[in-house]
Structure 1
Amino acid sequence: MGSLFRGEPMCLAQLFLQSGSAYECLSELNPNVSVFQRKFVNEVKKCEEMERVLGYLVQEIKKADIPLPEGDVAPPAPLLKHILEIQEQLQKLETELREITRNKEKLKRNLLELTEYTCILEVTQRFVRRTAEYESQLHANYEEFPSVENEPSADNNCMHRLGAKLGFVSGLVHVAKVKAFEKMLWRACKGYTILNYEELDECLEDPDTGENTKWFVFLVSYWGEQIDQKVKKICDCYHCHVYPYPSSTEERKAVVDGLDVRIQELRTVLHKTEDYLRQVLCKASESIYTWVIQVKKMKAIYHVLNLCSFDVTNKCLIAEVWCPVADLQNLRHALEEGSRKSGATVSSFMNTIPTTQPPPTLIRTNKFTSGFQNIVDAYGVGTYGEVNPALYTIITFPFLFAVMFGDFGHGLLMFIFALLMILYENHPRLKRSQDEV
C-alpha cells in the first residue's frame, strides 16, 4: 500500500557487462524495452529474418486450419549458443515447406490441365457428331472435302488439289470473352472458320486467380496455314487454354484412356503430398509458440544491447539504469546468474552512482489497482515522490459512476459484466485482445 500511496524510491546504477555475458545478463533482466539500432545491427537483422520465417509458418498453419497451441508460461530467452540452432531449424523448415508447397501447386496445375483436356474431348465429341450432319453441304461446296470424323490424310489428292488441309483448334475460353472471341474470329478470318462452343456444366478453377469460374469449350475448324496462324494468335490474345485436338476417333479414345490413368495417378500423388504437408505443419505448430516468444525476447535483448556503450577496450558494455532501491539485490543476483550461464571468467557487476537528475516515477500495481492507475495516468503522471491519487480513485470513481447511473438495472448489468470478465480473464481470446472498445 505504501508503494501505491507514493512512488518507489529510485537510484541511478551503472552496469558493467562483459561482452561474452552481456546477452545472458540482459536476458535475466527486463527484455521489454524500446527499439534502437547501434552496434548489434546484424543480430537484430537475424532476429527480423527469423520473425519473417515465423510469420510465413504461422500463415501456412492457419491456411491448413491447424490450431496454434499457446502455453500458459512464456518460455525464457534462449542461450546465446542455442540461437544458431533455432535459426538453422527455421531455415530448414522454411525450405522444406516452400518445396512441398511448390510441388503441390505444380501437381494441382497439372491435374487441372488434364481435367480441362478431358472436358474438352468430351464436349468436342458432340461437336464432331453435330458437324457430321453438315458433311453433305461441305461436299457440295468443296467437292471431295474429307469427313471431319476421318483422318485429314484420308484423301491426299483432294488436299493437294485444294492446296490446304483441314485443321482444328480446341480449348477453353472464359465465359465473359466468348462473344468477343467469336466476333474476332469471324472478322479476322473473314468467315473461313467454323466455330462451335458450349458451356461446361461444372466450374473449373482459374489458374491465375484460384477462383472457380465458368468456361466455354470451343472447337475451331479451318483449313490453310494463314488461317491457322490467325486462329492461334486470337486464342493467345483472349488467354484461351488451347489443347491439341485428336485427328481421328481412335486417337481420341487413346488420349482419353491415357488421361484417365494420369488423372488417377496425379490425384494419388497429390493426396500423399497434402498429407505430408499437414504432418510437417502439425509438427511445426507444436513449437511455433515457443519460437515466436524466444525470437521476440532475443530481438528485445539486442535492442537493449544497442543502448549500451563500449569501454575503451571494447570488451565491456556500460549502461546506466534507473532501478528501485528495493530491487538492487535482485539486479545483482540477475547479473551473477547471467555470468554463470554464459560461463564468463569475469562476472558482470553494478555500482550505484550519485546524481542530481530527478528520478522517474515508479508505482507498483496489480491487476485490480492497474485500472484505476491508468485512469490517473491518462491525466498525467506525478513527479517523483508526489502523492499518488489512484488510491482515492478506487473509492471515488465507483461512487461517481453510481451517481451517474444510480439505478438497480444498470448496477446489475455492470455487476454481471464484471463477473464475466473475472471468470473468463484467462480465456485465450481475451488474452489476445488489444484493449480496443
Structure 2
Amino acid sequence: MVSFSMFSSSNRAPPTTEAIYRSAPMTLVQFYMTLELARDVIYVLGNLGDVHFRDLNSKLTPFQRTFVSDLRKIDSVESQLDFLYETMETYNTLKVDPYSQFESSSQSFPSISEIDDIKVKIQEIYNRIHHLHSSYQTLEQRKDSLIENRYVLNEVVKFHTSSRGGLESHTVFDVGNHEDEDGVALLNGRNESLELGRGSGNDHSFDIASVEVDFEESNFNSISGTIVSDKIPLLRKILWRTLRGNLFFHDIPIDLKSDDEEAEKKSIFIIFIHGEFLQLRVRRIVQSLDGLIYDNVNGSNSLRCETLAQLNLQIQDLDTVVENTRNHLISELMIFQDAFPSYYYSIKREKLIYQTLNKFDMDSTRRCLVGEGWIPKSELGKIRQILKNLIRQKTNVAQGESEPLSGSGDGGLSPESTGSVPVSVGVTSASIFQLHADDDDNNFDIQDEENDVDSSLIAIVNELSTNRTPPTFHRTNKFTEAFQSIIDAYGIATYQEINPGLATIITFPFMFAIMFGDVGHGFIVFVISLYLIKNEYKFNMMRNKDEIFEMAFSGRYIVLLMGLFSMYTGFIYNDIFSKSMSLFKSGWEWDFPDDYKTGMQLIAKRIPGKTYWFGLDWAWHGTDNNLLFTNSYKMKLSIIMGYIHMNYSLFYSLVNYRFFKSRVDIIGNFIPGFLFMQSIFGYLTLTILYKWSVDWFGIEKQPPGLLNMLINMFLSPGKIEDQLYPGQKFIQIVLVLIALCCVPWLLIYKPLVLKKENDRAIGLGYSDLNSQKNHAVQLQEEEEALTNLINSENNNDPDHDEIDMLDDNFRFPNDIEPLNVISHGDGHDEFNLGDIIIHQVIHTIEFCLNCVSHTASYLRLWALSLAHAQLSTVLWTMTIQNAFGGNGGAIDIIKMVFLFGLWFTLSVCILVFMEGTSAMLHSLRLHWVEAMSKFFMGEGYAYEPFTFSGIDI
C-alpha cells in the first residue's frame, strides 16, 4: 500500500541523525514577532543559519513590500561603498586582510541609531573622497590638455622651421584613387591656385617642393589640434571630399608616456585652408570627430615662443597641484581602509536582514510580523530558547538592568548568559559562537529562569502541521561536501529519500581507478591532492580563482581518493608507467629448449602449487598473448563491477519503498525487476566466476564462449553448443521463463492494485484514493499535535501556551507557493488510471532495455583501462626508451635528461590530466545514468538557510 503518512511530523529518524544517509527531518515553523524586535530576531537567526524562510509576499513586487524604503536607503549606501572600493583599487590603497571578515562578523550588532550614524559617516566620507577624486580627474585632464597643447605648439614650430629649410622633407597628403567627381579640384586650371600643389589625372598628391610661398607669410589660415590616431584616415577622407582638395593636411603621432594602458593614442594634425567659410567647415568636422583645436599655436614665431613659456609655467603649477591632490586623496583612502570592512559587512548584513523581513506578512493593527520557515527538527528547541533569551535581555535593557557587553567573550545570547545588552549595542554575535560550540550536542538543554520578566516584546516560534514539501538538507563537512555536490549537480534528492552521496564516497573514485589503474599516475594525482589539501587555507582566501582550478580545489578530497584507489588498482594490474613490478616470485617459468636460438618463441609453464600473491603476475608483461589475456580479464571484471553497482542501486529502491511503506512498489516494481536482472545478468556473472574457477587446460577442454551462450539462451532455448556445467539446459530454460514472466508482472500488477484501492476509497465516501491519503495524513498530524500538547502540559513545559497565532487553514494573502505533497508513487491531484498505466508501461520498457544497455555501458571500464595502458606504453616507447642503450657519454646523458623531461611532461599533460578527466567523466556518467536511474527520484529542492556566512568582503 502507498503510505498515508508521507509528511507526518513524527521523527522518522532519531535526533542524533547525521542527515547524510537520508535528509534531515524538517519542520515548518511560524515566527510571530513585534516590529521593535524583528530586526534583532532576524540577526540572531542569520547568525545561527538554520532557517529556510518562505516568501509570504510572492504576489507583491519589490516596490510593494513593507521595508522597501529601508532597502532603498541601504542600496544608496551600498553604491557609495562600491565607489569607495573601486577608488581604493584604482589608487592601490586597498588593504588585503584575510581576517577582516572574521573581525567584522565578531563585532557587536549595531542598533538602528548606530546604523544611521554609519550611513552618515559613509556619506561624509563619500562626499569628501568623491570631491577629491573628481578634482584630481579634472586637474589631470587639464594637465593632459596643456601637455597636448605644448606638443601641438612644438610640432607647429618644427613644421614652420622645416618649411623654411625645405618643404620636401615632409610627407604630404595623399588620398589615393577616388571617383572623378571627388578627384577634380575646383581650382585645378589655375597656375597660381590655392591648393599648394598640382596633380593630373587621379594622382592627387601634392608636390611640396614646388611650392614657392612661405606658409607663415601666406594668406592661408592654419588649424592645428589633436585627434585620436584611429580617426586620422577618416578625417583625411572627409576633408578631401568636402573641400575638393583645397587644403594641406599634415599629421604627427604623439608619444605620450601615460600610466593608463587603455588610453587612446592621439595624433597632431596641421591643416592649411583658405577663407573663413572653409575654416568654419573644417572646425565643425574636427569637432564632430571629437578632435581638439588649439588656436594659441598660430601667429608669429615670437608669439609662439611666448605661448610656449606660458604653457610650461602652467604645467609646472598644475604638477604641484595634482600631486598635492593625489596625496591628499590617498591619505583619505588610507584612513578609510581600516573602517571599510566593518562598514561594508554591516551594510551588507543590514540589507540581508531587511530582504528577509520583506518575506514576512505584516499585521499593521498589532504592529507585528508573521513569517514561516523550514528548520531541522533538532534545532527547534535551540531556536525557542534563543528567542527567549533575546526577549529577556531586551526587556532588561529597557529597565536599565544591564551592563554593556563587548563583541567577544561569553556574553550576549549564550545559554549561560545572565547579563543583558544595552540598546545602543543590541544583540552581540558572541552568543552565536557559544551556540556553534554546542551544535554537535543534540541534548541542547537550557535552564530557564523561574520568573521571566513580563514584556511587550514578543518573539514566538511555533511548529506547524503542514503537507507542504520540505526542503532537502544533508549535513556535510569539507570532506563529504564535494561528493554530495556530485549528486546535487544531477538533482536534489526528494525529501527523506535515500541519499546516494554516501556510497559515492567509495564508488566514484573506485570506478575512476578501474579505468585509471597505474601506480605511477595514481601517485601523481595523490601528490597533487595533498598539495591542495595542505594549502587549502591559502587557496580558500583567494578571491578570483581560475574556473578550472576552482573545480579541482573544491574536489580535492575526491582527487585524493582517486589517487589512492588508482594506486591500489595499479598494484592489481601490476602496472607502473607501463612497466611491471616483480614484487613477488612469479608463478610461471620459461621452458628453454635445447636448440634455443635468439628470436625463437618460448612458452611458459606453470610452477605447480605456485600462485602470484597479489594482482597480475609480472611474467605476463611483454608476452605475445598479454593483450589477449588482459583484455579478457578486464572485460569480465567490468561486467562483474557493473552487476554489483547496479544491484546495490536496485536495493536502494527497496530501502526507499520500505521507508515510504509503499507495498505496491515492492511487489509490483522491485521484486519483478530484481528477478529479471538476476535471471539474465546475475546468471552471466555467475558463469564468469565459474569459468575462472575451472582449469580448462587441466581437463583438456576448450572453454565455451559466454557471449554466444547468453545470446543462444534466448534465441534457442534448450540448445547447448558447448556445455559449461552439468544441468545447464534445464537451468537456462527456467531463467528464461522467469524473465518472461517478470515483464507482464511489471506491467499490470501496480495499476490493478491501485485501481482496486481507488474503488475501495470511493466506496468509503472519498472522492478518490488520493483524497483518502490526504485525509489520513491530516488525521495523523492532528493526533500528533494533540499528543505533543498533552505531553507539554503534563511536563509543565513553559512552551505549551505558545499556540499557533494563525489557523492551519489560513492562507497568507500574497503567498502563491503550491501545496506540493510528497508521494513515492503517483502523486496526482486526481486519481487517473490511464496515466498510471502509461507510466507503468514506460517504466517497464525502460527498465528492461536499461538492464541490457547499462550492463554493456560498464564495458567502458575495460575500454578506458585498455586505452590508458596502451597509451602509456606507446609514450614510454617513443620517448624515454630511446635514451637507453648508449655508451654513457655526455651526449647520451643530455639525451636522457631531455627525453625524461619530455616523457614526464607528456605523461602529466596527456595521461594524468586528459585521460584522468576522461575517466572522471565516465565514472560520473556511470553514477548518474546507470546507477541512480534505478532508485533516485531527485524531485526535491535544496535547503537554503538564511545566514550571514555568504557575505564576502
Q: TM-score, normalised by structure 2?
A: 0.39
Task: Give the unaligned 5+ runs of structure 2.
Answer: 1-15, 167-191, 194-212, 399-454, 553-953
Describe the superposition over 1:262-281 as per-residue Cα deviations: whole angstroms up to 9, x where unpaired: 00111111122222222333
Name whichever of 2-11 and 36-45 sits farther off.
2-11
Residues 237-269 of structure 1: CA distance to partner in whole angstroms, max 9, x if unpaired? Answer: 554422123433332222111111100111111
User: Contact (CA 8 Å) 1:178, 1:216: kept in 2 or not?
Assistant: no
Would the aligned equivalents of 1:61 and 1:281 in 2 still touch at CA under 8 Å?
yes
Task: Measure how far apart 1:213 and its partner are.
Answer: 1.5
Give the CA deviation at 1:285: 3.2
SS at match of 1:314: coil
Percent of aligned positions that are identical: 26
Over residues 346-381 of structure 1, what are the superposed CA-to-partner deviations in whole Å (9 max), with x where a residue is unaligned?
343335445253655543222223333334444542
Write the mapping of 1:81-92 to structure 2, written as runs, cut at 5 A.
81-92=113-124
Decide whether the 8 Å contact of 1:198 with 1:216 is kept in 2.
yes
Amino acid at match of 2:292: H
Aligned to 2:369, the other structure's residue is in SS state strand
2:41 is matched with which residue? Answer: 25
Q: Give the deviation of 1:85 after TM superposition.
A: 2.2
Gaps of 5+ in 1: 135-140, 153-164
- Work out the CA distance in 2 between the residues paired with 1:178 and 1:389: 66
CA distance in 2, matches of 1:323, 1:42: 29
How many angstroms does 1:336 deviate by? 3.7
Give the stretch that moved more between structures: 24-33 or 254-263: 24-33
Matched, 1:349 2:455: no
Q: Is the 8 A contact 1:204 1:214 kept in 2?
A: no
1:272 aligns with 2:324: yes
1:324 corresponds to which of 376, 383, 395: 376
The alpha carbon displacement at 1:402 in A equals: 3.2
RMSD of Structure 2 on Structure 1 (CA): 3.9
SS at match of 2:537: coil
1:404 is matched with 515
Farther-moved stretch of structure 1 (5-14 vs 262-271)? 5-14
User: Aligned partners of 1:428 and 1:350: how far apart in 2?
Assistant: 42
Is structure 2 residue 83 aligned with structure 1 residue 56? yes
Cα drift, residue 17 of structure 1: 1.1
In the TM superposition, what whole-angstrom CA distance separates every residue of 1:32-65 from its partner, at most 9, and x where no partner exists? 7677743122222233333322332222222233
Q: Give the distance between the partners of 1:356 and 1:436, measured in 2 at CA.
A: 39
* Pair 1:75 & 2:101 matched: no
The reply to whether residue 172 of structure 1 matches residue 223 of structure 2 is no
Q: Deviation at 1:110?
A: 1.3
Of the structure 1 ranges 310-319 and 254-263, higher mean CA displacement relative to structure 2 is found in 310-319
Match of 1:96 in 2: 128
Q: Would you say the 8 A contact 1:14–1:319 is kept in 2?
A: yes
Question: 2:525: which partner in 1?
Answer: 414
Structure 1 residues 366 and 262, CA gap change in structure 2 (3 angstroms): same
The residue number in structure 2 matching 1:114 is 146
Relative to 1, partners in 2 of residues 1:258 and 1:379: Cα closer, same or farther, differing over 3 Å?
closer
* Residues 395 and 211 of structure 1, relative CA distance in 2, 3 Å threshold: closer
How many angstroms apart in 1 are the aligned matches of 2:288 and 2:482?
A: 65
Aligned to 1:155: none
Deviation of 1:29 (Å)? 0.5
- Residue in structure 2 matching 1:199, options 252, 262, 279: 252
Corresponding residue SS for 2:338: helix
Q: 1:242 to 1:297 in 2, by over 3 A?
A: same
The DSSP-based 3-state class of the residue aligned with 1:417 is helix
Find the counterpart in structure 2 of residue 3 from structure 1: 18
Give the C-alpha shift of residue 304 in structure 1.
1.8
- Once the two structures are superposed, residues 399-434 of structure 1 have per-residue CA deviations (whole angstroms, 9 ceiling, x without a partner) of 434333332134313322321222122225566457
Deviation track 1:288-328 (CA, whole Å, cap 9, x = no partner) reads 33333333322222122122223462312222333334323
- For the residues of structure 2 that align with 1:364 and 1:235, how far apart are their CA atoms? 68
Alpha-carbon distance between aligned partners in 1 of 2:267 and 2:288, rounded to the nearest angstrom: 16
Closer/same/farther in 2, CA of residues 423 and 248 from structure 1, 3 Å limit: same
> Which protein is richer in strand relative to its size?
1
Determine the structure 1 residue equivalent to 2:754.
none
SS at structure 1 position matched to 2:71 = helix
Distance 2:240 2:501 in 1: 83
Residue 736 of structure 2 is matched in structure 1 by none
Is residue 69–residue 285 contact of structure 1 (8 Å, CA) maintained in 2?
no
Deviation at 1:287, TM superposition (A): 3.2
Partner of 1:286: 338
Q: Aligned partners of 2:307 and 2:288: how far apart in 1? A: 27
Post-superposition offset of 1:19 = 0.6
Distance 1:398 1:227 in 2: 80
1:241 paired with 2:269, answer: no
CA distance in 1, matches of 2:246, 2:475: 88
- 2:246 pairs with 1:216: no
Note the C-alpha offset of 1:118: 1.4
Aligned residue number for residue 137 of structure 1: none
**Larger-Rg structure:** 2
CA contact (8 A) 1:173 1:218 kept: no
Q: Distance in 1 between matches of 2:237 and 2:511?
A: 77
Q: Does 1:381 align with 2:432?
A: no
Distance in structure 2 (CA, Å) of the matches to 1:202 and 1:15: 68
Q: CA deviation at 1:20?
A: 0.5
What is the CA–CA distance in structure 1 between the aligned matches of 2:262 and 2:492, rounded to whole Å?
53
Choose between structure 1 and 2 for higher RCO, CA contacts under 8 A separated by at least 6 residues. Answer: 1
Shift of 1:23: 0.3
Residues 65-119 of structure 1: per-residue CA shift (max 9 Å, x gap):
3444342515165433322223223333332333222212211221122112212
Map 1:185-196 → 2, pairs under 5 A: 195=248
Contact 1:372 1:393 in 2 (8 A): yes
- Residue 295 of structure 1 pairs with residue 380 of structure 2: no
Counterpart Cα distance in 1 of 2:332 and 2:315: 26
- Aligned-residue offset at 1:192: 6.7
TM-score, reference length from structure 1:
0.78
- Equivalent residue in structure 2 for 1:258, among 285, 296, 310: 310
Distance 2:504 2:278 in 1: 88
Partner residue, 2:582 = none
Q: Counterparts of 1:188 and 1:72 in 2: how far apart (Å)?
A: 63
Matched pairs, number:
413
Deviates more, 1:294-303 or 1:21-30: 294-303
Tell me if structure 1 keeps the 8 A contact 2:228–2:266: yes
**Secondary structure at 1:280 match in 2:** helix
Q: 1:423 maps to which residue?
A: 534
User: Which deviates more from structure 2 when the two are superposed, residues 386-395 or residues 243-252?
Assistant: 386-395
Preserved CA contact (<8 Å) 1:335 1:348: no
**Which residue identity is paired with 1:89?**
K
SS of 2:18's equivalent? helix
Contact preservation (8 Å) 2:36, 2:457 = no
**Contact between 2:33 and 2:459, CA under 8 Å: does it hold in 1?**
yes
